[in-house]
């Protein structure tokens, strides 16, 4: 597949200068338009050593306004990176809407070199490429323009280029012993690269193979391809905004009718099947609380010693007891060991990124505990019901969330998820109690009352969430929350049981 990049394509200096002037003006104008657009741009440079990857990134920073370009190059993983899932630092570095990110030695580098040097087998390589495709698809589905350039040289041209760089004292540093070692594996590298390009080149995230021997040719080819793609994406975004505005107008005209619909069942069978009468007397509660907190504290210390990360998610009805449940968990832990993340409406910075971005950034180091009071499931709950996310967006979120949690589990993170369930009557009682107690009044908002009116819609969303995202690596535990004592004990019992099982499993590996 690389024959197209081995044809000896060249551009004279005269032709280059003519085309460069027009290209620079075009790219700057498009970059200015991008700043007010509702999408970001991710540009990946991969390919053969010496084919001009880093030079092309420098060229784009020269042609365009570098203040609106985010350039990222990756080397050996740091200790901070190794303590988190592999894609953590890529998610962390994604550009905001209106910006462009240039990525060198990115998510393709390690899987490709691992295969070349037999540090992974074919099955592992295929799995890694599938993970990459899922990542890029999630970005593209969110509106990100994903472009990938494979900068290519044949073996003879690569050797020539590397020799020229070594002979020049000003550029000799750019050729390392590892580069020559990679050159000795050129044929293996090309075979692995062909597989990567075949498996990950999609309509949403296409590859463009660029011949890298002639600097003039490769620069103009990449620059014009980037400009063409930007123009098309800006046109698509404008058309999509227009359609969205028309759809919003239609939605508003039918909203009153929809809000009065009576076809939605009053209670979903999944939640209706829970026995809300379960309770625990005060004496038993105090005894079990002390025992379970002691066990949980010891297990978390052991988890920290072996580097096992814990992510704990609390979702549930307003006033269902998420906060009090979290407090009973944190009481058992060393304050230096955990962080609690109360998730509210996204900030402007967070809205400028993929909805999972703010959660990837909050992932803890190895051995620590991250507790989420509401979480990424907002996409399929409140954003779904309130219309903040389109149907296609929240529908695909089920797969995106499961993929996210699978990456956590594959890295050795124990993911525990709770849904706290209470009846409408108990919720109303707690709302009234909050309204009448001065130090609890801040907990009760207009949104709480409004959400309560939409409970049937939320029940359907909850049932879909549990059905589609309860997996063997991140199962949901449904907590009966009518009696607060019973709920808290069930939360602690679940955490203890999952930790014991995970630690025993790790010891047997």
- pLDDT digit string (tens) for 151-193? 999 999 999 989 998 999 988 998 889 889 999 999 999 999 9
Residues 131 and 273 in one domain: no
Choosing from 240, 255, 285, the residue where a domain stops is: 240
Residues 447 and 492 in one domain: yes
What distance in Å separates the CA atoms of residue 10 and residue 46, rounded to the nearest whole number?
A: 21
| pLDDT value, residue 447 | 76
Contact 215, 151 (CB under 8 A): no
Residues 401 and 361 in one domain: yes
* Average pLDDT of span 241-247: 58
Both tokens of 462, joined, read 């909850």
What distance in Å separates the CA atoms of residue 505 and residue 60, rounded to the nearest whole number?
A: 50
Residues 54 and 147 in one domain: yes
Residues 222 and 279 in one domain: no
Q: Is position 248 within any domain? A: no
| pLDDT value, residue 26 | 97
pTM: 0.90
* Average pLDDT of span 337-345: 96
Q: Is position 256 within any domain? A: no
Residues 11 and 89 in one domain: yes
Residues 339 and 418 in one domain: yes
Q: Is position 253 within any domain? A: no
| pLDDT value, residue 275 | 95
Q: Is position 259 within any domain? A: no
pLDDT band, very low/low/confident/very high, at 441 (cuts 50, 70, 90): low
Choosing from 240, 259, 282, the residue where a domain stops is: 240
Q: Is the dihedral of CA 213, 219, 225, 229 positive or negative?
A: positive
Question: Per residue, what are the HEC states of 50-68?
Answer: CCCHHHHHHHHHHHCCHHH
Residues 89 and 16 in one domain: yes
Query: Where in the sequence is the domain holding 332, given as residue range(s)?
Result: 269-508
pLDDT band, very low/low/confident/very high, at 305 (cuts 50, 70, 90): very high
Residues 283 and 189 in one domain: no
Indicate if the pLDDT at residue 247 is higher than 60: no
Choosing from 219, 240, 261, the residue where a domain stops is: 240
pLDDT band, very low/low/confident/very high, at 245 (cuts 50, 70, 90): low
Q: Is the dihedral of CA 476, 480, 485, 490 positive or negative?
A: negative
What distance in Å separates the CA atoms of residue 267 and residue 273, rounded to the nearest whole number?
A: 10
Both tokens of 83, joined, read 């303590």
Indicate if the pLDDT at residue 260 is higher than 50: no
Residues 226 and 309 in one domain: no
Question: CA 423, 321, 465 angle in degrees (round to 5)?
Answer: 65
| pLDDT value, residue 257 | 38
| Percent of the chain topping pLDDT 90 | 81
Number of domains the chain contains: 2
Q: What contacts 24+ positions apart, CB below 8 Å, involve 299-303?
A: 299/496, 299/499, 299/500, 299/503, 300/332, 300/333, 300/334, 300/337, 300/369, 300/499, 301/334, 302/503, 303/367, 303/414, 303/499, 303/502, 303/503
Q: What is the pLDDT of residues 354-375, one digit of tens each?
A: 999 999 999 999 999 999 999 9
Q: Is position 250 within any domain? A: no
Residues 201 and 71 in one domain: yes
Residues 194 and 336 in one domain: no
Indicate if the pLDDT at residue 327 is higher than 70: yes
* Average pLDDT of span 222-235: 97
Q: Is position 84 within any domain? A: yes
What distance in Å separates the CA atoms of residue 464 and residue 402, rounded to the nearest whole number?
A: 13
Q: What is the CATH number of the domain that holds 424?
A: 3.40.50.300
Q: What is the pLDDT of residues 40-86, one digit of tens each?
A: 999 999 999 989 999 999 999 999 999 999 999 998 899 999 999 99
Q: Is position 386 within any domain? A: yes
Q: What is the pLDDT of residues 454-484, one digit of tens each?
A: 999 999 999 999 999 999 999 999 999 999 9
Torsion of CA 105, 94, 43, 204, to 10 degrees: 120
| Percent of the chain topping pLDDT 70 | 93
Q: Is position 245 within any domain? A: no
SS3 309: coil
What distance in Å separates the CA atoms of residue 237 and residue 291, rounded to the nearest whole number?
A: 57
What is each CA distance from 5 to 267, 420, 476, in whole angstroms? 61, 58, 50
| pLDDT value, residue 365 | 96
SS3 481: coil
Question: CA 319, 368, 492 angle in degrees (round to 5)?
Answer: 45
Region of 65 on the Ramachandran plot (φ > 0 left; ψ -120 to 50 alpha; else beta):
beta
Among the listed residues 112, 125, 131, the one whose alpha carbon sits nearest the alpha carbon of residue 407: 131
Among the listed residues 230, 186, 223, the one whose alpha carbon sits nearest the alpha carbon of residue 52: 223
* Average pLDDT of span 480-499: 98
As a whole number, the mean pLDDT across the chain is 92
């Amino acid at each position: 597949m690389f024959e197209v990049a081995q044809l000896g394509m060249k551009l004279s200096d005269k032709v280059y200068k003519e085309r460069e002037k027009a290209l620079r003006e075009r790219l700057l104008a498009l970059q200015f338009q991008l700043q007010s657009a509702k999408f970001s741009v991710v540009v990946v440079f991969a390919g053969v050593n010496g084919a001009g990857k880093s030079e092309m990134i420098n060229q784009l920073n020269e042609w365009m306004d570098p203040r609106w370009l985010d350039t990222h190059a990756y080397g050996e993983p740091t200790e901070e990176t190794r303590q988190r899932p592999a894609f953590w630092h890529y998610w962390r570095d994604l550009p905001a809407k209106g910006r462009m990110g240039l990525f060198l030695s990115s998510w393709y580098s390690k899987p490709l070199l691992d295969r070349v040097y037999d540090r992974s087998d074919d099955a592992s390589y295929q799995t890694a490429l599938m993970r990459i495709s899922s990542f890029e698809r999630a970005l593209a589905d969110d509106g990100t323009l994903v472009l990938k350039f494979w900068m290519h040289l044949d073996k003879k041209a690569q050797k020539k280029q590397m020799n020229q760089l070594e002979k020049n004292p000003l550029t000799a540093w750019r050729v390392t012993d590892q580069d020559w070692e990679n050159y000795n594996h050129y044929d293996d590298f090309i075979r692995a690269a062909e597989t990567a390009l075949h498996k990950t080149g999609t309509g949403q995230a296409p590859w463009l193979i660029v011949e890298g021997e002639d600097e003039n040719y490769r620069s103009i080819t990449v620059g014009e391809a980037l400009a063409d793609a930007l123009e098309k994406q800006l046109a698509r975004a404008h058309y999509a905004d227009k359609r969205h505005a028309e759809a919003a107008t239609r939605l508003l005209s039918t909203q009153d009718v929809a809000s009065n619909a009576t076809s939605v069942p009053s209670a979903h069978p999944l939640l209706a099947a829970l026995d809300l009468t379960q309770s625990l007397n005060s004496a038993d509660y105090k005894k079990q609380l002390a025992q379970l907190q002691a066990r949980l504290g010891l297990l978390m210390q052991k988890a920290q010693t072996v580097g096992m990360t814990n992510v704990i998610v609390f979702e549930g009805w307003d006033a269902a007891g998420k906060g009090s449940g979290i407090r009973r968990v944190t009481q058992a832990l060393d304050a230096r060991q955990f962080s609690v993340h109360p998730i509210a409406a996204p900030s402007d910075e967070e809205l400028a990124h993929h909805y999972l971005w703010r959660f990837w950034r909050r992932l803890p180091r190895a051995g620590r505990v991250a507790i989420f009071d509401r979480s990424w499931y907002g996409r399929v709950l409140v954003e779904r019901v309130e219309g903040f996310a389109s149907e296609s967006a929240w529908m695909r979120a089920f797969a995106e969330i499961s993929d996210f949690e699978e990456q956590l589990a594959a890295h050795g993170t124990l993911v525990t998820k709770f849904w706290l369930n209470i009846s409408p009557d108990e919720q109303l009682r707690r709302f009234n109690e909050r309204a009448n107690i001065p130090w609890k009044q801040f907990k009760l908002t207009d949104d709480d009352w409004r959400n309560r009116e939409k409970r049937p819609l939320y029940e359907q969303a909850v049932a879909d969430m549990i059905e589609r995202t309860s997996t063997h690596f991140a199962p949901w535990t449904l907590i009966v929350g009518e009696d607060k004592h019973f709920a808290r004990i069930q939360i602690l019992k679940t955490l203890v049981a999952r930790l014991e099982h995970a630690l025993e499993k790790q010891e047997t590996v």
